[in-house]
Structure 1
Amino acid sequence: MTITLRPGSTVMFTGDSITDCGRLVSEDGLGSGYPLRIAGEWGLRHPDRPVTWLNTGIGGHKVSDLAARWHRDVLDVRPDVVSILVGVNDMGWHTLDPQGRVIPVEEFAAGYDQLLAPLAAAGTELVLIEPFLLPVRGVFEAGAALVGEAERKEWRTDLDPKIRAVRELARRYGAQLLAADDLFAELSTTTEPEHWSPEGVHLTPAGHAALAEAWLRLVA
């Protein structure tokens, strides 16, 4: 069953840089990514149902970072719908930094659960966007390191259990699940993955458009 947005509903997008997308320097506070595309397409389709769209994504944030600001940025606002995309910064690529730490999937899932519990108790509708990693080719820079296929395979090994954890949380809380990793894997079979993401994590305009289109299929 899809989520129904009534006139005057408030929708909150939150997460990391993929959601942030320069929101603080944008006129409407939505940034330039999928939240802006969703808001624009909704306004085009449903001018009779105005919605307040909010974005509290912050680049680089993990589940633990969201927890530290959850009351101020999310719970105190009392949105009707909360859409969360987090997890790629909980992935093993941060071990490229000497100070990086591998975050066990159990810790990731428990922290994510603590974000969802108060929202579910308040009757907030939930959209969980699973983290994703596209199968791009070649070598690219991640911080001060060069990353190739071997490193991406290690990340994949770390990320897959966390994707499964998000899917289980969506099932447990009756949330809408946007299976973004599956979405981009399928898209990458017909169009080169670099069309959707230059390095497998951050999205191109086409990638944001694909994510927005998938999100809007979950909402009516």
Structure 2
Amino acid sequence: MMTDVIGSHTIAALCFALLPVASLAQSTPSSPARPIPDTTNNNVKPLTVCEALANWKQLIGKPVAIVGRIDCGASLIDHNCFLVEDRCDRPVSSEGGVWPNQVYIMNAWEEGMLKPPSSWPKFDEAVLAQKLSLIGGSTTLGMHRSPRFKTDGSGLKYAGSVEVKDEWGIAYGTFFTATRLRKPGCDEEVGCGGFIGAPAALITLPRGLLPITRDGKVAGK
């Protein structure tokens, strides 16, 4: 299902970049944010969206692999993607109400942001398949309309939309949100007001979100 998206990926990234490094990396302004260690040779146990959101405060600033349904919205200027579960036993709640069960995928790193892990780790296909089986009890794959664009002499133009199948996906990155989430009247703390509707974001490398099959195979890996 396609998510209705309000806002801009670039605006969200700039919100990070405009704040001091100390706020984002919990370091002094003279000490730049350190990259997350390369874990390519280690097996990383993925979490479902619900598992990650149930432990969101403990995951801030850590490298995390998250599995869920890919939910993207696109326009001529924006392309925003989330990992989603339809229902969670322990959804994130804060002042202002309950947040959607989704994690925003932020794959355009800018100076001042927490850095993503330096590369993809290895994943156990049997574990991934088990996670998908768990998600399948609360989340469905259906169809959504995906926009299409074409280029002509005057530039890029909208060319209608087509029905495409939903997919499971996995993203690996640095988990980030604010320790004090609020929907209305948010203060200046980075991430306090969420990320285009999501209560948390995953800061990834380019192509940090990939489809996975029901048997745990990651496309492109």
Question: TM-score of the superposition, structure 1-length normalised?
Answer: 0.23
* Larger helix share, 1 or 2: 1
Question: As a proportion of its length, which structure holds more strand?
Answer: 2
